[in-house]
Structure 1
Amino acid sequence: MHRNLDQLQEQLGLRFRQKKLLQQAFTHSSYVNEHRMEKHEDNERLEFLGDAVLELTMSEYLYNLHKEYSEGELTKLRASIVCEPSLVHFAQALNFGDFVRLGKGEEMTGGRSRPALLADVFEAFIGALYLDQGLEAAKSFLRQFVFPLLDGAKKPQVQDYKTQLQEYVQQQNLGTLEYRIVQEKGPAHDREFVSEVFMDSQSVGMGTGRSKKEAEQNAACQALSKIRK
């Protein structure tokens, strides 16, 4: 059963002016499909908006934090944060899964802890908060609850996306993974690698990095997000 959203507001020290927005952020499409007569809205449009708000606020945060970083380095760092496994980590830290309204089928198959669902709910919540109280409120929330999770507000903790991807593919029996370095750019002292990950010969992700290892991790991160959806 999902918990009352008043409990969540109390937990976060927030009070939504438009409670319908908060409710929508935590409403999965499976719930809407099972309650068609009640005219609920799912969180997919809010997720779209929240993704953009997260990109902007995270960009500003990293821009001010790492003045020594180049545009390319900032882009990679942001990608490692605004990536499904990180969003799932944020949602789990705030117990967001407890508050989602799900259809019975989704509930029975463990939807409340499904990574793609948790990542979507986190983005939808950010979108709802932005619409309800503006950009500063969204920034304030992230400063309080999310930035401290980023390894002392410096670099994000290194996530082993390759292992996560391997475990997920094995659990779901999806096939065999293979990583290929498809491009090397730049001079020897400033090399950049492009890695592509294939699942049974089908490309499922691509990533760049200063080392082959980093490129493969970023490719795995993209693949995780893609195949879970």
Structure 2
Amino acid sequence: MSSDSAAIECLALEKKLGHKFKDPRILVQALSHRSVGSPNNERLEYLGDSVLGCVIAEFLYHQFPKLPEGDLTKMRAALVRQKTLSILARDLNFPAHLIMGSGEVKSGGYNRDSILSDAFEAVVGALYLDGGMSAVKNVLGKLYKDLLKTIKPAELEDSKTLLQETLQKQELSLPVYQVIAQSGKAHSLTFTVSCKVPGIESVFIATGNSRKKAEKSAAALAVEALNK
């Protein structure tokens, strides 16, 4: 899509977001993939990623006053992961609004989860610059209303899955798990497992009464550290 037609399409997107941009150009930039050259949405994506995480963390903090940090961290990770953001982006009809180079258009980039989720974060960054944190909370409060109503800690995907998605989002290598100790009798073994992410100095260690449980606990520690 050309930038001129995108500016017209942005009017429709503003209505869906419920925010009238003082400077519509920043919304156009948020929807501009790097394949169009510069300016594009990469810097806005960087900003929006942090703002999104902060706002969702606050929403969860107030909605679940008795939940411990670990559960809140898992819930936040589920709400800001690529899959969730791409679904929200499609609900807002982002594929029709994205500005992309011809190569990306031909390859179907406008419907790729990674590109849609990046654009969603970039739009959050644009909202923050245009209207401040109040504008972001207002828009995200509406977009996440149903998700926040239905999300439950017990129904979240396991921490190993969340760690893998977190690493992929940050373009880091997949984790390596290793049993470093085993104790107890055959019917009541305790496993100590390490979780090492290539390129990161920290090693995350946890125990459990099965290897699988120990790996999940170690992965949860890694997710918490990476999100911080």
Scaled by the length of structure 1, the TM-score of the pair is 0.67
Contact 2:177 2:193 in 1 (8 A): no
Change (3 A) 1:215 1:117: farther
Question: What is the rounded CA distance, in whole Å, between the counterparts of 2:51 and 2:154 in structure 1?
Answer: 19
Change (3 A) 1:16 1:196: same
Backbone CA RMSD of aligned residues: 4.0
Question: What is the rounded CA distance, in whole Å, between the counterparts of 2:35 and 2:49 in structure 1?
Answer: 21
Q: Who is 1:61 aligned against? A: 59
Question: What is the rounded CA distance, in whole Å, between the counterparts of 1:140 and 1:43 in structure 2?
Answer: 22
**Deviation for aligned residue 1:143:** 0.7
Q: Who is 2:226 aligned against? A: none
**Deviation for aligned residue 1:144:** 0.5
**Deviation for aligned residue 1:182:** 5.2
Contact 1:5 1:23 in 2 (8 A): yes
**Deviation for aligned residue 1:213:** 8.1
**Deviation for aligned residue 1:16:** 0.4
Q: Who is 2:34 aligned against? A: 29
Change (3 A) 1:46 1:68: same
User: What per-residue deviation string (whole Å, max 9, x for no partner) do you get for residues 52-103 of structure 1?
Assistant: 1111111111111111111222222212222222222221222222210000
Structure 2 segments unaligned to the other structure (5+ residues): 165-173, 182-187, 224-228
Question: What is the rounded CA distance, in whole Å, between the counterparts of 1:71 and 1:10 in structure 2?
Answer: 36
Aligned residues: 194
Contact 1:24 1:41 in 2 (8 A): yes
Change (3 A) 1:103 1:15: same
Equivalent residue for 2:109, pick from 103, 108, 111: 111
The answer on 1:51 being equivalent to 2:49 is: yes
Aligned AA (2:33):
H
Q: Who is 2:150 aligned against? A: 152
Aligned AA (1:105):
G
Change (3 A) 1:25 1:118: same
Question: What is the rounded CA distance, in whole Å, between the counterparts of 1:75 and 1:67 in structure 2?
Answer: 13
Question: What is the rounded CA distance, in whole Å, between the counterparts of 2:106 and 2:32 in structure 1?
Answer: 16
Q: Report percent identity of matched pairs.
A: 34
Question: What is the rounded CA distance, in whole Å, between the counterparts of 1:44 and 1:20 in structure 2?
Answer: 15
Question: What is the rounded CA distance, in whole Å, between the counterparts of 2:139 and 2:89 in structure 1?
Answer: 13
Change (3 A) 1:82 1:29: same
Q: Please give the secondary structure, in 1, of the residue aligned with 2:100.
A: coil
Higher mean alpha-carbon deviation, 22-31 vs 10-19, is at 10-19
Larger radius of gyration: 2
Q: Who is 1:86 aligned against? A: 84
Aligned AA (1:53):
V
Change (3 A) 1:178 1:126: closer
Q: Who is 1:170 aligned against? A: none
Contact 1:29 1:43 in 2 (8 A): yes
Scaled by the length of structure 2, the TM-score of the pair is 0.68
Change (3 A) 1:124 1:192: farther
Question: What is the rounded CA distance, in whole Å, between the counterparts of 1:92 and 1:16 in structure 2?
Answer: 21
Structure 1 segments unaligned to the other structure (5+ residues): 33-39, 166-176, 222-229
